[in-house]
Each structure stands twice: as C-alpha cells, then as structure tokens.
Amino acid sequence: VAKLRTQMDQTIVASGFKAPAGQAVFPAFLQFLRSDPQFYAKTPEQLLKQAAWIAKRVDAKVGDYIGRLPRRRFAIEPVPPELAPFYTGGRGGPGIYLVNTYNLPSRPLYNLTALTLHESSPGHALQMPLAAEAQGL
C-alpha cells in the first residue's frame, strides 16, 4: 500500500496539481478528480466513443501478445435504457461490451480504461470468442 501511495503522490506532482491553500494535497486531488467536469463525459455518445477509442487502440496490439485474434470481433453497445438504472457496465456476453451511459456523473472517465480493458480487449469480449473457436479442448 505504501508503494502505491508513493506512486500516486508522484503522479500528482507530475500532473502539476496544486492544492488550495491550507488543504492537504492528496485529499484535494481526490476532490478535484471527483468534481472537475473534464473527467466526465457530457453525453452518452462521448462515453461510448471514448470506450471504443480505448478498446480499439489496445485491440490493434493484443494479437502480438496472444498470437491471434478471434474471427468474431467484439461490439461496444450501450446498456438498454430499461436496464441501465440497475445495471453495471460490462457483462455483455460473447463479443459484446455493454457500456452503461446512464447517470454520467457517476461514471468518471478515469475509470473507463480499466473497465474497458477488462470487458473488451484483452478482456471477456475477446476471451469468449477465442474460447469458442478453440480446437481440441
């Protein structure tokens, strides 16, 4: 934990963030992340576009690490509106990464990379089609 905290402190310094007078840097930075509009999508389309950009940027390189890509590629789709208020992101099934675009203020962009990589490429939406194509299992 101490090592992670040191890395976080180094990242804060590298970002150029300055805490307001009288405030400790770390809590002030967390508040900045939670409250500054630059860290949140303004529209559902912006959130979907950002998720697609992250996934495709990694997808272009993932075959170099795992040897091949499945024939069936993945899609990035919004969670259906009737499910969105009660649904987390991901869990779309083979070849689908569902992005929840409901309540955008609860979905900071700085969490999107980890979720997208877990769910799309090299995550479940890549894993399941590869498993379905596997021979001799």
Q: Are residues 50 and 115 in the same domain?
A: yes
Helical (H) or strand (E) element with 12: helix 2-15
Q: Are residues 114 and 91 in the same domain?
A: yes
Least confident of 28-32, 78-82, 123-127: 123-127
Residue 23 is part of which domain span?
A: 2-35
Closest alpha carbon to 50 in 127, 125, 123, 115: 115
Helical (H) or strand (E) element with 13: helix 2-15
Tell me how far apart the alpha carbons of residues 92 and 94 are, in angstroms, rounded to a whole number: 7
Q: Are residues 107 and 51 in the same domain?
A: yes
Q: Are residues 66 and 119 in the same domain?
A: yes
Helical (H) or strand (E) element with 2: helix 2-15
Q: Are residues 62 and 17 in the same domain?
A: no
| Burial classification of residue 82, based on how many CB atoms lie within 10 Å of its CB (0-12 exposed, 13-18 middle, 19 or more buried) | exposed
Q: How many residues does the chain have?
A: 137
Number of structural domains (the chain) is: 2
pLDDT in tens, 40-56: 999 999 999 999 999 98
Q: Are residues 20 and 60 in the same domain?
A: no
Whether the per-residue pLDDT at 57 is higher than 70: the answer is: yes
Q: Are residues 6 and 29 in the same domain?
A: yes
Higher-confidence position of 136 and 100: 100
Report whether the peptide linkage leading into residue 122 is cis, meaning its omega lies within 30 degrees of zero. yes
